[in-house]
Chains A and B, each alone.
Chain A
Amino acid sequence: MKIFRTHALVCSGAQCLSAGGNNFKDALSAEINSAGLQDEVQIVETGCMGSCEMGPMMVVYPEGTVYIKLVPSDAAEIVKEHFLKGRPVKRLMWNASGKEFPTLSEIPFFAKQTKLVLRNCGIINPENIEEYIANDGYLALGKVLTSMKPQEVVDEIKKSGLRGRGGAGFLTGLKWGYVASQQSGDKYVICNADEGDPGAYMDRSVLESDPHTLLEGMIIAGYAVGAIKGYIYVRAEYPLAVKRVALALKHARAFGLLGSNILNSGFSFDIAIRMGAGAFVCGEETALINSIEGKRGEPRKKPPYPSTAGLFDKPTLINNVETFANVPVIIHKGAQFFKKIGTATSPGTKVFSLAGKVNTTGLIEVPLGITLREIVFDIGGGIPEGHSFKGALIGGPSGGVVPAEHLDIAIDYESLDSIGTIMGSGGLIIMDETSCMVDIAKFFLKFTVEESCGKCTPCREGTPQMLKILQRITSGEGMPGDIENLERTGRIISRTSLCGLGQSASNPVLSTIRFFKNEYESHINEKKCPSSVCDMKPKAMENKNGKKIRVRKIA
């Protein structure tokens, strides 16, 4: 057996790679070779470690030293000083207060997190199935296939109280039960990995850093509901994720953990990848099913729900990446263990991509019920440059805003619902007083206008009308009655749209009006943007000769 005295874990998540992580890894490997350390030091490319702000990152074991913001020219110093002489390079280490040599668990960003879904992320090599198995991987599958009946698996998930992590928070066990109870030979399991919210990358991180946990969850689901085949619907914009999942599928098949007669149990199940072409609406489950079938990615009428007639009109279980990633933990450690984390009605953890005006941005996994204050100030390290917290946008273009007065709100499904926002899939954008709420609402509405598939009228025609009003307001041409008009149109769109995209499209607008009405009013009445973000000059228009003319205001 090959023993390496030092393991250098280099983050190879998409963020770190695009920050130049690849070049650093190459430089490091060249330096290690030239120092003759290739038999002593092992470079392991891991998935995302979470603190993307600090990338490219590297963690060196056995000491657990954390290096951040590495560039290729740092490689020589690290090899000569640390790997050769055992002297960690202080200038490149994460500067945690009071600790001279901080390890991951001593850095506040990591200390407050509870990692279930991301338990292996950044710790194992995602392209090596044995490292996943070493950390009890596929044991839950083994337990299910050897000692549990399908109904027992469904019951265990029901008992755990796990709720769908894709956004709506539907009880996962209940959904599994519906599909399991259908009398049909062909059933399907679909993993929704079509993550499209701006600024959100929780699913991508799981796919890139620990693809086997998703596969294990899907195979267990397949066994529980009696399915024959699974599909992972992932966006083509995630090339690294696609590559690693494809590799994981290949390895799992080679190890007999996927395919026919898994672990000699008589149960057969296989998984295929389907790539989406980047339509946001394909994250909606029925549109996604259409897309897998090769049809246009437009939502279907519900009912029938996918659990009775989904893919190819067969009963279909469709869950999000993060939901499936929770399954092996629940089976392996038991529903009771899972229920101890989080709150009574929202057990477990949630992964958020923390972005915006906060000191340490990145990917975090926190127990549900944690307060927003803890996330922003303890994990995120507060607001940079002496600004103050104004609000947090949670749930992406379908969510709403949490204002400063609700900073101590518990992050769980019920509490968020009570102030008119949603958990969503995990986008969390922090804003300070330099952000204009009207502008943010406009940004997200513009996104949904562009992504609306156009099948139903309220979403196709209604959202552009709202956008028009917002554009008018932010260019200093707002009129009295605009706010009421927005509210009324928004409510109509939510009630009458066909799918979740339209039903939630007006949330950012309605939510910002609810908590920051004064900002809308000052845009309209005083023609002023309190945060000086919006260009309040009326838009220039072109006349027939191509010359720009100012729109003249009515006296």
Chain B
Amino acid sequence: MEKIKSLEDLKNLRDKAKETLRTRSGDVKVTIFASMGTVGIAAGAREVLKMIISELEKRNFSDVEIIEGGSLGLDVEEPVLTIERAGTKITYGKVTPEMAKQIVIQHVINGQPIGEYVIARSKK
């Protein structure tokens, strides 16, 4: 570890370190709800979730929390993924790992929902 030389360095390190603790603060821009009921897992929700995490890591995006939820009841559309961003919740259905990757890039990070995958939307 290199020594900290100035107050500026210290503040930079603080900001960097803060990112890793964001999950504990509840203060995030995007919330991802992954439906992890038995049906969801059977339909491949685990792979979707793993893809989301690895994609977030790859793109260094930590302003997010991932919450595992139970099934919405919409079993036919599993795996279901809901993204909450700027007060709007958008739900995607029949998500594959490949789709999840696109959702992370376009919707989670850049705020552009992918219309063709959307099955529902709701305002807070």
In the complex, are the beta carbons of A263 and B10 less than 8 A apart?
Answer: yes
| Contact with A86, one of B11, B17, B36 (Cβ below 8 angstroms) | B36
Q: A86 — nearest CB in chain B belongs to which residue?
A: B68
In the complex, are the beta carbons of A39 and B53 less than 8 A apart?
Answer: yes
Q: Is B70 an interface residue (CB 8 A)?
A: yes
- Beyond A1-B62, A256-B3, whether A135 also contacts B21 by CB under 8 A is yes
Which has the most chain A C-beta neighbours within 10 Å: B13, B20, B41? B20
Residues from chain A with Cβ under 8 Å of B18 in the complex: 134-135
| Contact with B7, one of A64, A254, A263 (Cβ below 8 angstroms) | A263
In the complex, are the beta carbons of A136 and B14 less than 8 A apart?
Answer: yes
The CA-CA distance from A131 to B17 in the complex, in Å, is 6
Contact with B along A422-437 (1 / 0, CB 8 A): 0000000000000000
In the complex, are the beta carbons of A6 and B23 less than 8 A apart?
Answer: yes
Residues from chain B with Cβ under 8 Å of A5 in the complex: 23, 49, 53, 65-66
In the complex, are the beta carbons of B7 and A133 less than 8 A apart?
Answer: no
In the complex, are the beta carbons of B14 and A134 less than 8 A apart?
Answer: yes
Q: Is B1 an interface residue (CB 8 A)?
A: yes
**Chain B interface size range:** 35 or more
- Beyond A131-B21, A134-B21, A135-B21, whether A3 also contacts B7 by CB under 8 A is no
The CA-CA distance from A19 to B68 in the complex, in Å, is 30
The CA-CA distance from A383 to B24 in the complex, in Å, is 33
In the complex, are the beta carbons of A3 and B62 less than 8 A apart?
Answer: yes
- Beyond A40-B50, A264-B5, whether A63 also contacts B67 by CB under 8 A is yes
Contact with B along A248-276 (1 / 0, CB 8 A): 00000011110000011000000000000
| Contact with A3, one of B3, B13, B57, B69 (Cβ below 8 angstroms) | B57
Q: A259 — nearest CB in chain B belongs to which residue?
A: B3
The CA-CA distance from A264 to B3 in the complex, in Å, is 10
- Beyond A1-B20, A5-B53, A255-B1, whether A139 also contacts B10 by CB under 8 A is yes
Smallest CB–CB gap between B76 and chain A, Å? 19
In the complex, are the beta carbons of A257 and B68 less than 8 A apart?
Answer: no
The CA-CA distance from A267 to B42 in the complex, in Å, is 61
Smallest CB–CB gap between B44 and chain A, Å? 14
In the complex, are the beta carbons of B14 and A1 less than 8 A apart?
Answer: no
Contact with B along A79-98 (1 / 0, CB 8 A): 00011111100000000000
Count chain A residues whose beta carbon lies closer than 8 angstroms to a beta carbon of B.
Answer: 41
Q: B1 — nearest CB in chain A belongs to which residue?
A: A254
Q: Is A143 an interface residue (CB 8 A)?
A: yes
Q: Is B34 an interface residue (CB 8 A)?
A: yes
Residues from chain B with Cβ under 8 Å of A135 in the complex: 18, 21
In the complex, are the beta carbons of A130 and B17 less than 8 A apart?
Answer: yes
Q: Is A123 an interface residue (CB 8 A)?
A: yes
The CA-CA distance from A516 to B47 in the complex, in Å, is 69
| Contact with B17, one of A134, A145, A256 (Cβ below 8 angstroms) | A134
Q: A142 — nearest CB in chain B belongs to which residue?
A: B7
Residues from chain B with Cβ under 8 Å of A130 in the complex: 13, 17, 20
Within 8 A of A (CB), among B53-101: 53, 56-57, 60, 62, 65-70
Q: B46 — nearest CB in chain A belongs to which residue?
A: A84
Q: Is A552 an interface residue (CB 8 A)?
A: no
The CA-CA distance from A284 to B68 in the complex, in Å, is 53
The CA-CA distance from A7 to B26 in the complex, in Å, is 12
Residues from chain A with Cβ under 8 Å of B20 in the complex: 1-2, 130-131, 134
Contact with B along A130-154 (1 / 0, CB 8 A): 1101111111001101100000000
In the complex, are the beta carbons of A3 and B53 less than 8 A apart?
Answer: yes
Residues from chain B with Cβ under 8 Å of A61 in the complex: 23-24, 26
The CA-CA distance from A135 to B24 in the complex, in Å, is 12
Q: Is B120 an interface residue (CB 8 A)?
A: no
The CA-CA distance from A1 to B58 in the complex, in Å, is 8
- Beyond A1-B57, A139-B14, whether A85 also contacts B70 by CB under 8 A is yes
The CA-CA distance from A150 to B37 in the complex, in Å, is 60
Residues from chain A with Cβ under 8 Å of B13 in the complex: 130, 133
Residues from chain B with Cβ under 8 Å of A64 in the complex: 26
Q: B33 — nearest CB in chain A belongs to which residue?
A: A86
The CA-CA distance from A40 to B68 in the complex, in Å, is 12
In the complex, are the beta carbons of A139 and B11 less than 8 A apart?
Answer: yes
Smallest CB–CB gap between B12 and chain A, Å? 10
Residues from chain A with Cβ under 8 Å of B67 in the complex: 62-63, 86
Kindly list the 7 A-B residue pairs having the minimum CB-CB distance in the complex, ordered from nearest. A86-B68, A256-B3, A134-B17, A5-B66, A62-B65, A142-B7, A130-B17
A-B contacts, 28 of them at CB < 8 A, read A1-B19, A1-B62, A3-B62, A5-B23, A5-B49, A5-B65, A7-B24, A61-B23, A61-B24, A61-B26, A62-B23, A64-B26, A84-B46, A86-B67, A86-B70, A123-B24, A130-B17, A134-B20, A136-B14, A139-B7, A139-B14, A142-B7, A256-B4, A263-B5, A263-B6, A263-B10, A264-B5, A264-B6
B interface list, Cβ under 8 A from A: 1, 3-7, 10-11, 13-14, 17-21, 23-24, 26, 28, 34, 36-38, 41, 46, 49-50, 53, 56-57, 60, 62, 65-70
